[in-house]
């Protein structure tokens, strides 16, 4: 029944509207007729009602309202807009800061005024309520706040004509990246204004590999003590880069306390997000005095003549309406309010006209009747036109995409004295740059404490002494040893760390704490020590800690400062046996036979050439003389006279060959008799596994896991604790090999070099490193210190002190000396043999001159006969058959 009644009333109202329109048209026609039909009536502009909800008790509300009024004046005073058929009419409501009152004002504007748009909810809480009204009535709610009413996204009828927090987060992240700060702490007011901004900021920082390990929330009504506690927590944190966003009053109190705590000095970085950056415009000197060196990010506005003229007009009007204010010019928020009204006026003209379609409320208390709000087709048309508006306004290009004003560039300011210096810009195309139009260097930034040096982004907490865990390893005290007392912290690992820390450009205070049971023995494995660092029971671990992948999941390691890798330690044996026939080993069998053959051959050649009493006699005597002479040349003891020059040449060449062979034999025999040919008893772990031998390893280390991965049975593993136990286990045969890291093995071999050696493949690991908590800024500085120590040569000196001056070379097959072969002397024997054969031939020719002459004449005669025959066969045809005498000279040639 009630529904039927409401329907009838609506029909009557519509008919009443039609009748009224008809009467007006008839009256207008009569007026025209009364004027004789010569004058054209001027069409009255249609009115588009727009609601404005602002808190006039705040400077933002007053500033925004002044800007809106000036926008109305400027828009309709412009010649281009003078003839527009639509005109905005603003309806201001001042609900104060209360969100419920703001919602009630919105319902009043929708039901009783019939507005087609509502502008101005200043806070995120107010925007949430009004966004629901806009969705129900299909009326656009245009917010001047930077805050989104929903983390999940914007509602279709909620339009935000203010800066975009997401792009601001990108600008801040780019600024952090430019200065290589790896960790920052957001400091923000714990209310709805930061609900979306902080997650967006964290996401943007992750994109530039910057961690946010801690967030400092300040309650809006926080007391001085509560704020001091928050500042103290920041001071005891390593990070010194802070991004601040909170209300002006709260921020002023916060920075005053931070200055009192000494946190506005050298080494600290403070960045204010927009929403707070305009505190310098609003508060003025009190804020500037306590925020020296602070960086601020704000939307970039091009300084134009139009903006300067507007600022002067705004200043006069605002000061007149708000006497005693410290605000000298509108902030960017005010410029957005100005452009919003301008955009709405343009949209109202471009929107298709739809007659007022809000019906009067059935009830009298319509200002709170949320459930009976009707929809508006005219408002839908206005929203569509507004989304298409694109013009150059006071704040820059005004264009809406995805129901948000498109953000473009940001300005980076630096507070120095009473000035707000522009040091750079952020743009989507160039990132951080000195110009918004091109890539260039930013201006010099003056940081807190007035230094120009860029802060490194972290500071040691005040009065903080690092608690450093030291592993207990009594078996290898040369690497690390911890004992009670000032001189109890010794060893190579601790010495390197101390020198690196001493070379740092800042002071680091620290105390060593042994990870032992009070008796000098280890209190657990190295993995357990690393896990205690992860639990923050220690601030660092210094010692012989190997860098492993599973450990790096819990802590950060510096670069290794020792040699890396794992090898086997095995006993060595002298493989060469000394026997009665050892003297034969320097030469191989072929070289012995070859040398003997040349001895006999050389003696035979000398016997053939020499023909005097020393080589004459019975055949037996001659054979004895030949062999005696030949073998006596091996020791240069021959006494026979050599009279022939040919035999002298043969003997000299042969003696040179004998000299070389003799010296080589002597050297090789000396090596065999005096040098031990030590070789490892085991060369690979496969042999150990095949024989089922035992394997030793250093107790409390990671090596059992490695040995298991190499298929060694756990029952075959024996844990050892010291170099002495290594020696006993290997010498007694308790273990066949010991598998350990190279630094430990080098220490062992520096004491037991003669009987053992490192052998087998090297299993690659990263060596020893210093461990710090994840994200610790000390990791990078200590790593750089290690590199500097290595490049300066100091690391080599420390390693020399650790291992000693003596080197213990690996003992393997490459050290064994092999026997001399015939191939090595092939050239010498060839020269000697050639000389002997040539001397023998020449001797034969000289001693048989007659036979040789006749043999040579016969050969020449045969050659001459063949030459004449060839000439006759090759004569010209003209001479064939000529029986005369031969040509002149031919007979004489024959």
- Residue 432 three-state SS: strand
Give the C-alpha separation, 128 to 67, whole Å.
Answer: 24
Residue 592 confidence (pLDDT) above 90? no
Query: Which pLDDT does position 835 carry in this prediction?
Result: 85
Residues in CB range of 578: below 8 A, 6 or more apart? 672, 673
Nearest residue to 496 (alpha-carbon basis) of 778, 786, 700, 220: 786
Residues in CB range of 270: below 8 A, 6 or more apart? 242, 244, 255, 264, 291, 293, 294, 295, 448
In tens, the pLDDT along 87-110 reads: 899 999 999 888 889 888 999 898
Give yes or no for a contact between 192 and 220, defined as CB atoms under 8 angstroms apart.
no
Residue 686 CA, chain-centre distance (Å), reads: 40
> What percentage of residues in the chain have a pLDDT greater than 70?
80
For residue 538, name the pLDDT band (cuts at 50, 70, 90): very high
Residue 2 confidence (pLDDT) above 90? no
Count how many residues are written for the chain.
894
Give yes or no for a contact between 245 and 197, defined as CB atoms under 8 angstroms apart.
yes
Query: Which pLDDT does position 27 carry in this prediction?
Result: 38
Give the C-alpha separation, 187 to 214, whole Å.
Answer: 9
Give the C-alpha separation, 528 to 524, whole Å.
Answer: 6
Q: Is 325 exposed, middle or buried (0-12, 13-18, 19+ CB in 10 A)?
A: middle
Nearest residue to 558 (alpha-carbon basis) of 329, 881, 283, 778: 778
Residue 225 confidence (pLDDT) above 90? yes
For residue 722, name the pLDDT band (cuts at 50, 70, 90): confident
Give the C-alpha separation, 75 to 346, whole Å.
Answer: 9
Nearest residue to 250 (alpha-carbon basis) of 289, 223, 232: 223
Both structure tokens of 480: 């690390």
Q: In what order do the strands lie in the sheet with 466-471?
A: 510-515, 466-471, 540-541, 771-773, 555-557
Residues in CB range of 16: below 8 A, 6 or more apart? none
> Among 103-112, 420-429, 554-563, 853-862, which is the least confidently predicted range?
853-862
Both structure tokens of 485: 């007392």
For residue 19, name the pLDDT band (cuts at 50, 70, 90): very low
Find the helix or strand (DSSP H, E) in which 758 lies.
strand 756-763
In tens, the pLDDT along 653-677 reads: 888 888 888 788 888 777 777 665 6
* Residue 408: φ, ψ to 5°: -120, -90
Query: Which pLDDT does position 817 carry in this prediction?
Result: 53
Nearest residue to 282 (alpha-carbon basis) of 248, 308, 253: 248
Give the C-alpha separation, 814 to 407, whole Å.
Answer: 73
Give the C-alpha separation, 627 to 872, whole Å.
Answer: 59
Q: Tell me the whole-structure pTM to 2 decimals.
A: 0.68
Mean pLDDT of 457-464: 81
For residue 171, name the pLDDT band (cuts at 50, 70, 90): very high
> Among 180-184, 567-571, 863-867, which is the least confidently predicted range?
863-867
Q: Is 246 exposed, middle or buried (0-12, 13-18, 19+ CB in 10 A)?
A: buried
Q: What sign has the CA pseudo-torsion 874, 878, 879, 881?
A: positive
Query: Which pLDDT does position 118 carry in this prediction?
Result: 93
Mean pLDDT of 64-81: 89
In this structure, the number of other CB atoms found within 10 A of the CB of residue 259 comes to 17
Query: Which pLDDT does position 11 carry in this prediction?
Result: 37
* Residue 147: φ, ψ to 5°: -95, 140
Query: Which pLDDT does position 675 carry in this prediction?
Result: 64
* Residue 685: φ, ψ to 5°: -70, -25
Question: Of the segments 13-17, 128-132, 331-335, 656-660, which one has the largest average pLDDT value?
Answer: 331-335
> Among 116-120, 278-282, 464-468, 611-615, which is the least confidently predicted range?
611-615
Mean pLDDT of 577-588: 73
Find the helix or strand (DSSP H, E) in which 511 lies.
strand 510-515
DSSP state for residue 156 in the 8-state scheme: T
Mean pLDDT of 693-718: 88
Q: How far is CA 66 from CA 73, 124, 145, 321, in A?
A: 11, 22, 17, 9
Query: Which pLDDT does position 601 carry in this prediction?
Result: 80
Do β-strands 566-574 and 756-763 pair in parallel, antiparallel, or remain unpaired?
antiparallel
For residue 884, name the pLDDT band (cuts at 50, 70, 90): very low
Residue 890 confidence (pLDDT) above 50? no
The rounded mean pLDDT for the chain is 80
Q: Helix axis angle, 794-803 relative to 742-749, nearest 10°?
A: 50
Give yes or no for a contact between 109 and 134, defined as CB atoms under 8 angstroms apart.
no
* Residue 305: φ, ψ to 5°: -65, -40
Nearest residue to 478 (alpha-carbon basis) of 753, 783, 746: 746
Dmax (CA) of the chain: 177
Query: Which pLDDT does position 308 carry in this prediction?
Result: 92
Give yes or no for a contact between 471 and 461, defined as CB atoms under 8 angstroms apart.
no
Q: How far is CA 15 from CA 22, 25, 374, 377, 889, in A?
A: 10, 15, 19, 19, 156
> Among 24-33, 352-361, 857-866, which is the least confidently predicted range?
24-33
Give the C-alpha separation, 225 to 718, whole Å.
Answer: 60
What DSSP assignment string belongs to 69-104? Answer: HHHHHHHHHSGGGTT-SEEEEEEEE--TT-HHHHHH
In tens, the pLDDT along 364-399 reads: 444 445 556 677 788 888 989 999 999 998 988 899
Mean pLDDT of 353-369: 49
Residue 843 confidence (pLDDT) above 60? yes
Find the helix or strand (DSSP H, E) in which 143 lies.
strand 141-143
Give yes or no for a contact between 217 and 160, defined as CB atoms under 8 angstroms apart.
no
Residue 703 confidence (pLDDT) above 70? yes
Give yes or no for a contact between 545 and 657, defined as CB atoms under 8 angstroms apart.
no
In tens, the pLDDT along 756-791 reads: 888 878 888 888 999 999 888 899 999 999 999 999
In this structure, the number of other CB atoms found within 10 A of the CB of residue 182 comes to 18
Residue 299 CA, chain-centre distance (Å), reads: 31
> Among 343-352, 469-478, 609-618, which is the least confidently predicted range?
609-618
Query: Which pLDDT does position 133 carry in this prediction?
Result: 86
Give the C-alpha separation, 696 to 719, whole Å.
Answer: 6
Find the helix or strand (DSSP H, E) in which 11 lies.
helix 2-34
In tens, the pLDDT along 341-350 reads: 999 999 998 8
Give the C-alpha separation, 676 to 574, whole Å.
Answer: 6
For residue 297, name the pLDDT band (cuts at 50, 70, 90): very high
In tens, the pLDDT along 204-214 reads: 999 999 989 88
Give the C-alpha separation, 334 to 331, whole Å.
Answer: 5
Nearest residue to 506 (alpha-carbon basis) of 269, 783, 267: 267
For residue 605, name the pLDDT band (cuts at 50, 70, 90): confident
The residue assigned the tokens 């009224």 is 20
Question: What percent of the chain is helix, strand and coil (3-state, nearest 5)?
Answer: 45, 15, 35
Nearest residue to 371 (alpha-carbon basis) of 379, 383, 382, 363: 363
In tens, the pLDDT along 37-72 reads: 444 444 567 889 999 999 988 888 999 999 999 999
Residue 891 confidence (pLDDT) above 70? no
Residue 650 confidence (pLDDT) above 70? yes
Beta bridge partners of 540: 468
Both structure tokens of 434: 């000195």
Mean pLDDT of 415-428: 90
The residue assigned the tokens 């290594």 is 726
Mean pLDDT of 21-42: 38
For residue 21, name the pLDDT band (cuts at 50, 70, 90): very low
Residue 15 confidence (pLDDT) above 60? no
> What percentage of residues in the chain have a pLDDT greater than 90?
26
DSSP state for residue 266 in the 8-state scheme: T
Nearest residue to 541 (alpha-carbon basis) of 483, 527, 477: 527
Give yes or no for a contact between 228 and 257, defined as CB atoms under 8 angstroms apart.
yes
């Amino acid at each position: 029944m009630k529904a039927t009644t409401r329907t009838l009333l609506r029909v009557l109202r519509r008919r009443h509207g039609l009748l009224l329109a008809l009467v007006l048209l008839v009256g207008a026609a009569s007026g025209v007729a009364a004027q004789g039909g010569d004058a054209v009536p001027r069409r009255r502009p249609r009115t588009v009602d727009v609601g404005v909800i602002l808190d006039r008790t705040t400077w933002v509300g007053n500033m925004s309202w002044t800007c809106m009024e000036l926008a109305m004046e400027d828009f309709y005073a412009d010649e281009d807009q003078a003839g527009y058929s639509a005109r905005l009419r603003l309806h201001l409501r001042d609900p104060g800061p209360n969100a419920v009152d703001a919602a009630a004002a919105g319902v009043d504007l929708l039901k009783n005024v019939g507005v087609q748009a509502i502008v101005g909810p200043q806070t995120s809480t107010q925007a949430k309520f009004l966004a629901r009204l806009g969705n129900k009535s299909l009326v656009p709610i245009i917010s001047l706040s930077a805050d989104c009413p929903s983390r999940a996204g914007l509602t279709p009828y909620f339009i935000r004509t203010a800066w975009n927090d997401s792009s601001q987060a990108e600008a801040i992240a780019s600024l952090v990246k430019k200065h290589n700060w790896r960790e920052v702490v957001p400091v923000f007011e714990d209310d709805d204004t930061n609900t979306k901004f902080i997650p967006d900021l964290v996401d943007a920082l992750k994109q530039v590999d910057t961690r946010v390990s801690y967030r400092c929330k300040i309650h809006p009504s926080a007391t001085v003590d509560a704020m001091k506690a928050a500042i103290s927590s920041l001071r005891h944190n390593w990070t010194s880069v802070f991004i601040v966003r909170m209300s002006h009053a709260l921020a002023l109190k916060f920075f005053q306390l931070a200055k009192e705590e000494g946190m506005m000095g050298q080494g600290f970085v403070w960045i204010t997000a927009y929403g707070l950056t305009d505190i310098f415009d609003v508060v003025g000197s009190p804020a500037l005095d306590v925020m020296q060196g602070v960086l601020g990010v704000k939307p970039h506005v091009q300084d134009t003549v139009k903006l300067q003229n507007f600022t002067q007009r705004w200043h006069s009007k605002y000061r007149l309406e708000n006497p005693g204010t410290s605000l000298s010019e509108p902030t960017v928020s005010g410029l957005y309010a100005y452009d919003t009204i301008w955009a709405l006026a343009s949209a109202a003209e471009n929107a298709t006209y739809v007659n007022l379609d809000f019906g009067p409320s059935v009830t009298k208390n319509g200002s709170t009747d949320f459930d009976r709000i009707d929809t508006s087709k005219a408002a839908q048309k206005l929203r569509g036109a507004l989304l298409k508006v694109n013009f150059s306004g006071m704040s820059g290009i005004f264009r809406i995409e995805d129901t948000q004003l498109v953000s473009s560039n940001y300005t980076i300011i630096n507070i120095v004295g009473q000035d707000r210096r522009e040091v750079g810009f952020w743009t989507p195309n160039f990132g951080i740059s000195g110009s918004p139009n091109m890539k260039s260097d930013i201006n010099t930034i003056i940081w807190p404490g007035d230094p120009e040096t860029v802060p490194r982004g972290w500071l040691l907490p005040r009065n903080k002494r690092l608690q450093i865990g030291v592993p207990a390893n009594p078996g290898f005290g040369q690497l690390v040893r911890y004992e009670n007392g000032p001189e109890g912290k010794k060893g190579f690992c601790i010495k390197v760390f101390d020198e690196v820390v001493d070379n740092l450009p800042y002071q680091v205070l620290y105390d060593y704490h042994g990870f032992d049971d009070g008796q000098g023995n280890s209190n657990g494995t190295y993995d357990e020590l690393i896990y205690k660092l992860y639990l923050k029971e220690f601030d660092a671990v210094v010692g012989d800690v190997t860098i492993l992948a599973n450990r790096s999941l819990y802590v950060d390691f510096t670069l290794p400062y020792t040699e890396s890798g794992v090898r086997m330690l095995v006993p060595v044996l002298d493989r060469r046996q000394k026997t009665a026939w050892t003297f034969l080993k320097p030469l191989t069998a072929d070289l012995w036979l070859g040398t003997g053959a040349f001895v006999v051959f050389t003696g035979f050649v000398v016997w053939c050439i020499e023909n005097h009493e020393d080589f004459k006699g019975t055949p037996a005597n001659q054979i004895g003389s030949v062999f005696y002479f030949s073998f006596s040349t091996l020791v240069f003891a021959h006494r026979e006279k050599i009279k022939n020059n040919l035999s002298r040449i043969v003997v000299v060449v042969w003696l040179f060959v004998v000299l070389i062979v003799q010296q080589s034999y002597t050297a090789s025999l000396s090596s065999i008799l005096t040098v031990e040919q030590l070789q490892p008893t085991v060369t690979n772990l496969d042999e150990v596994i095949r024989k089922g031998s035992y394997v030793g390893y250093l107790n409390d280390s990671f090596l059992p896991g490695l040995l298991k991965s190499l298929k060694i049975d756990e029952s075959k593993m024996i844990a050892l604790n010291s170099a002495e136990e290594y020696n006993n286990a290997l010498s007694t045969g308790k273990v066949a090999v010991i598998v350990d890291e190279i630094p430990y093995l080098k220490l062992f071999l520096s004491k037991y070099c003669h009987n053992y050696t490192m052998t087998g493949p090297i299993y690659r690991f990263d060596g020893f490193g210093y461990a710090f908590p994840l994200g610790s800024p000390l990791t990078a500085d200590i790593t750089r210190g290690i590199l500097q120590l290595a490049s300066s040569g100091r690391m080599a000196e420390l390693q020399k002190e650790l291992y000693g001056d003596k080197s213990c070379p690996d003992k393997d097959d490459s050290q064994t000396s092999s026997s001399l072969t015939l191939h090595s002397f092939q050239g010498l024997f060839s020269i000697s043999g050639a000389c002997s054969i040539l001397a023998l031939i020449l001797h034969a020719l000289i001693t048989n001159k007659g036979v040789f002459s006749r043999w040579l004449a016969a050969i020449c005669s045969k050659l001459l006969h063949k030459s004449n025959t060839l000439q006759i066969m090759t004569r010209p045809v003209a001479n064939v058959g000529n029986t005369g005498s031969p040509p002149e000279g031919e007979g004489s040639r024959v």
